[in-house]
A and B are shown apart, each in its own frame.
Chain A
Amino acid sequence: DAGVIQSPRHEVTEMGQEVTLRCKLISGHNSLFWYRQTMMRGLELLIYFNNNVPIDDSGMPEDRFSAKMPNASFSTLKIQPSEPRDSAVYFCASSLGTAGDYEQYFGPGTRLTVT
């Protein structure tokens, strides 16, 4: 299996532009997590899904952020409009379920720079 796939790996955009990050889950996994990592705030959980349904989006920083799972294997995280403080590495991770003992498999991340 190719693992969790994220695209793009790097994104540089100007403030005010829309940014869409993409994630493909590992086949057979049914839970999807979006994280943001910065030096200042560390690893933050933004939102997670189980069976395509958002379970908890309390970590989404503002209404400018939205996430979807249009099907069982794919998810997008959209920022509109983007701001310089959104610059971070964004990870998605998938797992076999939300039972506590399942490990999460992380993608390689998307490094977002907003100028």
Chain B
Amino acid sequence: AQSVTQLGSHVSVSEGALVLLRCNYSSSVPPYLFWYVQYPNQGLQLLLKYTTGATLVKGINGFEAEFKKSETSFHLTKPSAHMSDAAEYFCAVSVTGGFKTIFGAGTRLFVKA
């Protein structure tokens, strides 16, 4: 079975500062990894995903994540936070033939002016 752990239910950064949202996964087979973002009063939307190949994945809005198999991690980063990045971020994992995607509990990002 797969699982996802997001470290920190809330993260607060200043505008212009580095954003780092942590995600660790557990999977007995090669995983597919996702980051989704949820803005207030909206559904989740895909930020980026890792399937195979290059371990550094770039997504929308300047976000990127690096798949580190040895650390079973898929942390999300952005060099410079913008006020519009304030949202909830979900890390998720799935596997081939696994049918469903397992979502983490989410991390709410606050951006201070």
Contact = CB atoms under 8 A, between A and B. Distances in A.
Interface residues of A, number: 21
B87 interface: no
| Contact count band on B | 20 to 34
B82 interface: no
B103 A43 contact: yes
Contacts of B96: 99-101
A115 to B, nearest CB: 21
Interface in B19-42: 31-32, 34, 41-42
The B interface is mostly helix, strand or loop, or mixed, namely loop
Given A42-B106, A45-B100, A100-B32, 17 more contacts: A43-B44, A43-B103, A45-B103, A48-B99, A50-B99, A91-B43, A93-B43, A93-B44, A100-B96, A101-B49, A101-B51, A101-B96, A103-B46, A103-B49, A104-B101, A106-B45, A109-B43
